[in-house]
């Protein structure tokens, strides 16, 4: 059975003290009321080691929001997959639309990042999704398929088993405009069939596909109820313990 996952993406928010305080609060809340799903928080690099210290690793996974496309060396300002792993983190988000749009991350660059993350024992939360004009032109399926092909299709099925996919329609990120549960389900089913064609039925059955984009406690339950939606990648609502926990609790009956 594939995993149900709620993952937080803090983006460039919270200073170190605020981040440690939020992680501490979330750890206490989930210790008191155990989740029915895997929970992961992805934080800025500088938070990782300190946040790892306050999390019960059996309860909450930890991830970075990016890593370098190079192994090591003279790449000023970059943080490698090995460095991320050494903090205690187990996950890394790659291919987020903000990285693609604002930092020029191409499918080719992302392929390098994915390879290095996997080689260093990190699980990858790989984001895909179309922009509004592409959806309006009904090109969302081909866009998402090209994103998968461009960065993941050289992996072996064994490597692919460490990938979590996150479908994030760009028009729904931080806009308050959520995809409908039907739109999410339709795309998730398409993604799963694309994975089946490439990696086989078992890989497709086992891969968790998260929805991301203005997911909130008030809409999570309806979206997560869809058969091909295995959880969420949460931005804004991951910055408040009560909101994030509200989304985690969407997996409870
Ligand atoms: P949002 O962000 O929940 O604030 O829309 C989701 C994401 O970008 O991962």
- Domain coverage including residue 72: 5-251
Q: Is the pLDDT of residue 17 over 80?
A: yes
Give the pLDDT confidence of 107-124 residue by residue, as tens digits.
999 999 999 999 999 999
Per DSSP, the residues of 90-106 read: -EEEE--HHHHHHS---
> Which atom of ligand 1 is the closest one to the Cα of 127?
9
Q: Is the pLDDT of residue 191 over 90?
A: yes
Distance 6 CA to ligand 1 centre (A): 12
Distance 172 CA to ligand 1 centre (A): 8
Q: How far is CA 10 from the centre of its chain?
A: 11
146: domain CATH number is: 3.20.20.70
Residue 1's pLDDT band, with cuts at 50, 70 and 90, is confident
Q: Alpha helices, DSSP H only, in the chain?
A: 16-32, 48-54, 81-86, 97-102, 107-119, 132-136, 140-152, 157-160, 181-199, 201-206, 217-224, 241-248
Whole-number pLDDT of residue 177: 84
26 CB burial (10 A radius; 0-12, 13-18, 19+): buried
Per DSSP, the residues of 65-82 read: S---SSSSSS-TT---HH
Q: Is the pLDDT of residue 75 over 80?
A: yes
Check: pTM over 0.95? Answer yes or no: yes
Q: Whose CA is nearest to atom 6 of ligand 1?
A: 235
Max Cα–Cα distance, the chain, nearest Å? 51
Q: Whose CA is nearest to atom 7 of ligand 1?
A: 235
Residue 162 in tokens: 């460490």
Residue with tokens 């390879």: 115
* Alpha carbons 32 and 11: distance in angstroms, whole number: 27
Whole-number pLDDT of residue 161: 98
Q: Is the pLDDT of residue 253 over 80?
A: no
Task: Give the total number of structural domains in the chain.
Answer: 1
Whole-number pLDDT of residue 243: 98
Does the annotation flag 212 for ligand binding? no
> Which atom of ligand 1 is the closest one to the Cα of 93?
9
Active site residue 168: yes
> Which atom of ligand 1 is the closest one to the Cα of 215?
3
Does the annotation flag 174 for ligand binding? yes
CB 232 within 8 A of CB 223: yes
Q: Is the pLDDT of residue 45 over 80?
A: yes
Residue with tokens 């501490």: 24
Identified catalytic residue from 105, 130, 168, 185: 168
């Amino acid at each position: 059975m594939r995993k149900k996952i709620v993952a937080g993406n803090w983006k460039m928010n919270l200073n170190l003290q605020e981040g440690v305080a939020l992680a501490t609060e979330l750890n206490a809340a989930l210790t008191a009321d155990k989740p029915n799903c895997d929970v992961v928080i992805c934080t800025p690099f500088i938070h990782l080691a300190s946040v790892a210290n306050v999390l019960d690793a059996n309860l909450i996974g930890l991830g970075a929001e990016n890593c370098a496309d190079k192994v090591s060396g003279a790449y000023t300002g970059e943080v490698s997959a090995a460095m991320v792993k050494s903090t205690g983190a187990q996950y890394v988000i790659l291919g987020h639309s903000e990285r693609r749009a604002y930092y020029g991350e191409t499918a080719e660059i992302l392929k390098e990042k994915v390879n290095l993350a996997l080689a260093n024992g990190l699980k990858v939360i790989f984001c895909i999704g179309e922009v509004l004009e592409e959806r309006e032109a009904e090109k969302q399926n081909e866009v998402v398929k090209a994103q998968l092909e461009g960065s993941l299709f050289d992996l072996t099925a064994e490597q692919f088993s460490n990938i979590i996919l996150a479908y994030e329609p760009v028009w729904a990120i931080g806009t308050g405009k959520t995809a409908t549960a039907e739109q999410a389900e339709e795309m998730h089913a398409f993604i799963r069939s694309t994975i089946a064609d490439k990696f086989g039925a078992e890989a497709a059955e086992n891969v968790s596909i998260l929805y991301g984009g203005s997911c909130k406690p008030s809409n999570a339950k309806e979206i997560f109820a869809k058969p091909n939606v295995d959880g969420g990648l949460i931005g804004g609502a991951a910055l408040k313990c009560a909101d994030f926990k509200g989304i985690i609790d969407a997996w409870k009956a």
